[in-house]
Amino acid sequence: MKDIIEPYVTPDGRTIGGVLMDMRNITLRFGGVEAIKDISLDIREGEIRAIIGPNGAGKSSMLNVISGFYNPQEGEVWFRGEERPPMKPYQVARLGIARTFQNIALFEGMTVLDNIMTGRLTHMKSGMFWQAIWAGRAETEEVHNREIVERIIDFLEIQAIRKTPVGRLPYGLKKRVELARALAAEPKLLLLDEPMAGMNVEEKEDMSRFILDVNDEFGTTIALIEHDMGVVMDLSDRVVVMDYGRKIGDGTPDEVRNNEQVIDAYLGVAHD
């Protein structure tokens, strides 16, 4: 399939731009196990891109390659038109890539507000000295960062738990706080690792709404992994399907849904 790189406007009025991240012939091995076998995929600016596949298909590994946590043995990662060398996670964060985790990774003892503030860390420039005496740039920076954080709190409707320690929150809300923290970094690319795992229908609906709103309001490009097929098909612009480390399908939800190979490997049930 040859991709058209010109920007286009989706039926619901969002602009999808050029390629933001391009993964070329990625192969990732753990010892003798090939987790990802020669996969190429791109993520375009402004789109919601989903990676799906059965358990052990290599989805999370793929996300970890995108986030720079794993370095593939073979292949190239291009981000915003430049090849990205192997990097430390903080360097990736500075590039404008933020993520949430499959098993929530928040600071349990800190309040929601403080947790989200940590997302602003890459945007703080004042040194330890100024931070310590709380003057000059440190203060103006904090005010600015707090404003951004408050807008996110308002956006995700978590005002009521602003000062609540994260450890006391139910699961669904923790997931939302994690999203808030990722958003606080004002990322170019937001990676969501199973944002709806373990949620009930209502929480899933809320989360879907927020993901769409984030994409729409902030124009954030989103790559997500998800099990729930219904959610994926409704949310995403394009879907990559993986199975045993291989890419077996790539395209719009409708294309993927009708792809024989995908049906065979993953959905199965529709093939009776």
Partner 1 sequence: MTASAPSGLKSVPDLLARNVAKHGTKAAYREKEFGIWQSWTWAEAAEEIDALAMGFLTLGADVGDHIAIAGRNRPALYWAMVAAQRIGCVPVPLYADAAAEEIAYALDHCGARYVVAGDQEQVDKIADVRDGLHALQHVVYLDGRGLRKYDHSHMTSYANLQEAGRKSGRIGEVNERSAARTYDDTSVMLYTSGTTGRPKGVVLSNRNVIETSKNSSEFDHLQPGDEVLAYLPMAWVGDFIFSIGQAMWTGFCVNCPESAETMHTDLREIGPTYFFAPPRVFEQQLTNVMIRMEDAGRFKKWLFDRCMAVGRRVGPALLDGEPVSQMDRFRYRLADWFAIGPLKNTLGLSRVRVGYTAGEAIGPEIFDFYRALGINLKQLYGQTEATVFITQQPDGEVRSDTVGVPSPGVELKIAENGEVFYRSPGVFVEYYKNAESTASTKDAEGWVATGDAGFIEEGTGHLRIIDRAKDVGKMADGRLFAPKYVENKLKFYPDILEAVVFGAGRDYCTAFINIDLTAVGNWAERNNIAYSSYQELSQHPRVLDTIQAHVAEVNKSVAADEMLAGCQVHRFLVLHKELDADDGEMTRTRKVRRAVIAEKFSDLIAALYSDKGEIYTETEVTYEDGRKGKIKATLELRDAAVTAEQQQVAAE
| Site of interaction with partner 1 (CB under 8 A) | 12-13, 146-147, 150-151, 153-155, 157, 159-160, 162-163, 202, 205, 213, 216-217
Minimal CA–CA distance to 266: which of 54, 80, 96?
54
Minimal distance in Å, beta carbon 169 to partner 1?
13
Q: Which one-letter DSSP state was computed for residue 266?
A: I
Q: How far apart are CA 136 and CA 141, in angstroms?
A: 9
Minimal distance in Å, beta carbon 234 to partner 1?
15
Minimal distance in Å, beta carbon 170 to partner 1?
14
Q: Nearer to partner 1 by C-beta: 158 or 241?
A: 158
Minimal distance in Å, beta carbon 30 to partner 1?
40
Strands 48-52 and 238-243: parallel
Q: How far apart are CA 212 and CA 197, in angstroms?
A: 17
Q: Whose structure tokens read 């005002």?
A: 159
Minimal distance in Å, beta carbon 236 to partner 1?
18
Q: How far apart are CA 210 and CA 204, in angstroms?
A: 10
Q: Nearer to partner 1 by C-beta: 135 or 160?
A: 160
Q: Nearer to partner 1 by C-beta: 83 or 154?
A: 154
Q: Nearer to partner 1 by C-beta: 60 or 215?
A: 215
Q: Nearer to partner 1 by C-beta: 23 or 153?
A: 153
Q: How far apart are CA 164 and CA 190, in angstroms?
A: 25
Q: Whose structure tokens read 């999808």?
A: 16
Q: Which residue type does 20 have? A: L
